[in-house]
């Protein structure tokens, strides 16, 4: 049976990093509203108390800091994260995160960005890889101010942002012998394409068990409690799209397809 985890590509977790900011910053803002630095300090301290914050297979957030001029969020990333792709595509990741900030609809996240901008602070997002190598994305106060959340509830923009972030990491090795090579969004489906090593995967059996795999996936989809995953499923359903998983054997070229229709999400 195929694991449902294929439904969550690692680079969608960059968006999850942003969601973590939103979910954990549930601080009541008190005191003088003009004291922006104090306000920001309280918010960062509140977030830091929640650390370490698990990010599933990607790793975890370890620490949040504010030194009076720069807010820093630190993440420990597991070996599943393709470090070389990250390094080669830092500009794209930088822009993707800005795009995600601009489209974020969570009120607590709006408060966080407002506090950073009002305090005239920059933002550093530091990723520590398993090799102990650090990669830092730096966002100036002016960049953040120009990308303040102005969410208009556009589901197409949201789905396209997932496509863009995931494509930066392709091809992605989900597990031994199973590689996601591309993703596509059309009017009917959000489709993931996988190349399968036929020494490890029997495509004929996958074809025969498509119905069982479909039911197992559908059940997992409808019982997931992950907020970002639920949002993606809701958006697909709202746009009358389903999910499609397209598996191709690298030796024979045999294919197996599992689809979940929009009305099943």
Q: Angle of helix 12-24 relative to helix 36-49, nearest 10 degrees? A: 110
Same domain, 18 and 119: yes
- 6 pLDDT band, cuts 50/70/90, is very low
Same domain, 35 and 134: yes
- In this structure, the strands spanning 53-54 and 242-249 are unpaired
Same domain, 190 and 126: no
- Answer whether residue 159 is part of any domain: no
User: What CATH number does residue 253 fall under?
Assistant: 3.30.300.250
Structural domain that includes position 221: 171-264
Tell me the per-residue pLDDT of 128-187, one tens digit each, with 9 for 90 and over. Answer: 877 778 888 899 988 888 877 654 456 887 787 777 767 766 787 777 888 889 989 999
Cβ neighbors of 226 (< 8 A, separation 6 or more) are 8, 56
| Counted domains in the chain | 2
The span from the CA of 49 to the CA of 40, in Å, is 14
Indicate the average pLDDT of the chain: 75
Tell me the per-residue pLDDT of 223-255, one tens digit each, with 9 for 90 and over. Answer: 776 655 777 788 888 899 998 989 999 999 999
Same domain, 176 and 141: no
Same domain, 139 and 34: yes
- Answer whether residue 166 is part of any domain: no
Does 43 score more than 60 pLDDT? Answer: yes
Same domain, 202 and 139: no
- Answer whether residue 46 is part of any domain: yes
Tell me the per-residue pLDDT of 178-225, one tens digit each, with 9 for 90 and over. Answer: 888 998 999 999 998 989 999 988 888 888 777 777 787 788 777 776
Does 70 score more than 90 pLDDT? Answer: yes
State the DSSP string of 131-196: TS-EEEEEE-HHHHHHT-------HHHHHHHHHHHHHTT-SEEEETTEEEEEEEE-SSEEEEEEEE
């Amino acid at each position: 049976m195929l694991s449902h985890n294929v439904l969550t590509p690692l680079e969608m977790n960059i968006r999850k990093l942003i969601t973590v900011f939103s979910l954990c910053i549930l601080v009541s803002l008190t005191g003088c509203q003009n004291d922006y630095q104090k306000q920001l300090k309280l918010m960062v301290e509140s977030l830091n108390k929640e650390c370490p914050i698990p990010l599933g297979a990607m790793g975890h957030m370890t620490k949040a800091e504010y030194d009076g001029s720069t807010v820093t969020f630190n993440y420990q990333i597991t070996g599943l994260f393709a470090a070389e792709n990250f390094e080669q595509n830092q500009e794209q990741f930088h822009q993707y995160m800005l795009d995600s900030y601009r489209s974020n609809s969570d009120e607590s996240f709006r408060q966080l960005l407002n506090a950073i901008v009002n305090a005239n602070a920059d933002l550093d997002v530091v990723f520590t890889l398993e090799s102990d190598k650090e990669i830092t994305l730096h966002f100036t106060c002016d960049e953040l101010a120009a990308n303040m959340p102005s969410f208009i509830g556009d589901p197409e923009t949201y789905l396209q942002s997932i496509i863009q972030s995931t494509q930066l990491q392709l091809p992605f090795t989900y597990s031994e012998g199973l590689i996601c090579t591309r993703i596509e969004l059309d009017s009917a489906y959000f489709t993931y394409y996988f190349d399968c090593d036929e020494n490890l995967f029997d495509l004929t059996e996958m074809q025969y068990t498509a119905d069982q795999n479909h039911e197992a996936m559908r059940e997992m989809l409808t019982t997931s409690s992950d907020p970002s995953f639920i949002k993606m499923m809701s958006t697909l359903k709202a746009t009358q799209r389903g999910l499609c998983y397209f598996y191709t054997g690298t030796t024979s070229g045999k294919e197996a397809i599992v689809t979940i229709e929009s009305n099943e999400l």
